[in-house]
Amino acid sequence: MTVKVELRSTLVCPYCGHQATETMPTDACLYFYDCLGCGRMLKPKYGDCCVFCSYADVPCPPIQVDGKACCG
């Protein structure tokens, strides 16, 4: 069975609420992200592997495929 992986995800800044739809990398972890609204640097919440797993509507590709963190 093949899992369809969504590569676009909308990040929502926890500080200002700005939303930005980004393409997730499939070969690296995105640990830092500068909010396009307020400029603050987002980092994953404790226990999450990347900013997409913490602040986006779709988790990173490795989590989608097999539930394993992209960089852990």
3-class state of residue 65 by DSSP: helix
List of residues 6+ apart from 69 with CB closer than 8 A: 49, 50, 53, 62, 63
Q: List the chain domain ranges.
A: 8-61
Q: Is 6 exposed, middle or buried (0-12, 13-18, 19+ CB in 10 A)?
A: exposed
Q: pLDDT tens digit string along 6-63?
A: 999 999 999 999 999 999 988 778 899 999 999 999 999 998 889 999 999 999 988 8
CA pair distance 64, 55, nearest whole angstrom: 15
CA 3 and chain centroid, separation: 18
2 has a pLDDT exceeding 80 = no
